[in-house]
């Protein structure tokens, strides 16, 4: 079934659900406004350059909230952390690996409704399902042309970065970080799978146009079936560019800018290297942690690459919403 058909089914009856908007004045946290529709509550560097059970707590590339409210954080060095959602203090860590026991370049994370995790790796690329203890339960099919060159047209370190489930849990979406070989530089592929009798089958593919020089490190489905899309880039001597967009699959992935994070108030943040705003770093992970009457609560995290010049930083955003 096409993605747009699934979206129509999922959103039927959601007339009272929250819908994002990029119009109108900010309703709350005006002094912390990044744009008319986004405000920054606070940030936290509490986990920067820390360890837990002899595992470095950093290299964080994805976040996910489970049905029980627990917060999971995925390291691109094959570690899956469970964090206290309030304090961010690590509670457990589970090592992940492929079928041969080799480490992953783990980038995308979804907490499924049955307590398992769906995890992408950029290496092949791949999507695997893991138990809470790190056991491989399933591996999803991937189109040949998305595989890393020379097997396909994917760029090394530029394949599956973002991963999200659409409302209803029947459609999974993975975003490539950069364009396939032979595609325009601003064209990124979004691959979908439909769940049937508990297994995911390949489905539609969509194209998304990035801003010049930027890639897609993360996507997250909103309650009304649209997608929050992070776009990110880095320029030596200048720093990071990080923008948050709202894209609508029902309208050909038409996107609307919610905010450029360089416009957020720094709130006393410091940077270890040049940045257009000292708040910025290599932001890669994003999840929706809650909802108030007129806003979605969004948590972002930066990947410090275990680099002294970078910071593991969590960002607490509110994206304004209206009924």
Q: Looking at residue 320, what is its pLDDT? A: 87
Give the residue-averaged pLDDT of 204-225: 97
**Phi, psi (5° rounding) for residue 107?**
-130, -35
CA distances from residue 87 to 42, 43, 170, 234, 237 in whole angstroms, order as listed: 13, 12, 32, 30, 33
Which pLDDT value is given to residue 67? 82
Residue 171 tokens, joined: 């459609």
Task: Collapse the DSSP code of 146 into the 3-class scheme (helix H, G, I; strand E, B; otherwise coil) and give the result.
Answer: helix
The Cα angle at residue 108 between residues 225 and 7, in degrees rounded to 5 = 15
The string of pLDDT tens digits covering residues 121-177 is 999 999 999 999 999 999 999 999 999 999 999 999 999 999 999 999 999 999 999
Count CB-CB contacts under 10 A for residue 32. Answer: 18
Helix and strand tally (H, E) in the chain? Answer: 1, 23
Q: Which residue has tokens 């910071």?
A: 311
Could you identify the residue written with the tokens 């948590």? 299
Q: How big is the chain by its Cα radius of gyration, in Å? A: 18
Map out the domains of the chain with their CATH numbers. 35-319 (2.120.10)
Mean pLDDT of 292-318: 96
CA atoms within 13 A on the CB side of 216: 32
Distance separating alpha carbons of residues 319 and 310, to the nearest angstrom: 26
Cα 220 to Cα 177, 229, 235, 274: the distances in Å are: 14, 7, 25, 29
pTM of the model as a whole: 0.91
Phi, psi (rounded to 5 degrees) for 158 = -145, 25
Q: φ, ψ for residue 263 (rounded to 5)? A: -90, -5
**Residue 68: per-residue pLDDT:** 84
Q: Specify the pLDDT at position 292.
A: 85
pLDDT tens figures, 26-66: 333 456 999 999 999 999 999 999 999 999 999 999 999 98
Spatial distance between the Cα atoms of 304 and 309, rounded to a whole number of angstroms: 8
Point out which residues pair with 208 in neighbouring strands.
188
Query: DSSP class of residue 94?
Result: E
For residue 74, what pLDDT band results from cuts at 50, 70 and 90?
Answer: very high
Instruction: Average the pLDDT over 251-276 and give the result.
Output: 97
pLDDT average, residue stretch 296-303: 98
Three-state SS for 26-51 is CCCCHHHECCCCEEEEEEECCCCCEE
Sequence-distant (≥ 6) Cβ neighbours of residue 268 within 8 angstroms: none
């Amino acid at each position: 079934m096409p993605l747009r058909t699934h979206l129509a089914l999922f959103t039927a009856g959601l007339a009272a659900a929250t819908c994002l908007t990029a119009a109108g004045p900010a309703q709350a946290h005006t002094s912390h406004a990044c744009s008319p529709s986004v405000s920054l509550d606070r940030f936290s560097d509490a986990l920067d350059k820390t360890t837990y059970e002899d595992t470095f707590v950093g290299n964080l590339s994805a976040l996910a909230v489970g049905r029980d409210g627990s917060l999971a954080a995925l390291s691109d060095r094959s570690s899956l952390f469970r964090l206290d959602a309030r304090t961010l203090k690590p509670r457990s860590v589970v090592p992940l690996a492929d079928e041969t026991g080799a480490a992953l370049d783990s980038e995308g994370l979804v907490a499924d409704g049955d307590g398992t995790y769906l995890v992408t790796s950029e290496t092949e690329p791949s999507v695997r399902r893991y138990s809470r203890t790190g056991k491989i339960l399933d591996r999803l099919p991937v189109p040949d042309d998305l595989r890393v060159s020379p097997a396909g047209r994917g760029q090394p370190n530029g394949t599956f970065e973002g991963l999200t489930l659409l409302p209803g849990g029947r459609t999974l979406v993975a975003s490539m970080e950069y364009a396939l070989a032979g595609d325009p530089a601003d064209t990124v592929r979004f691959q979908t799978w439909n769940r049937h009798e508990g297994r995911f089958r390949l489905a539609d593919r969509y194209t998304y146009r990035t801003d010049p020089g930027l890639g897609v490190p993360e996507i997250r489905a909103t309650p009304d079936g649209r997608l929050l899309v992070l776009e990110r880039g880095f320029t030596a001597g200048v720093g990071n560019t990080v923008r948050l967009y709202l894209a609508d699959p029902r309208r050909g992935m038409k996107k609307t800018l919610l905010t450029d994070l360089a416009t957020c108030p720094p709130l006393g943040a410091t940077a270890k290297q040049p940045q257009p705003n000292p708040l910025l770093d290599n932001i890669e992970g994003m999840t929706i942690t809650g909802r108030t009457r007129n806003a979605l609560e969004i948590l972002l995290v930066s990947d410090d690459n275990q680099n002294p010049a970078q910071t593991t930083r969590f960002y607490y955003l509110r994206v304004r919403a209206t009924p």
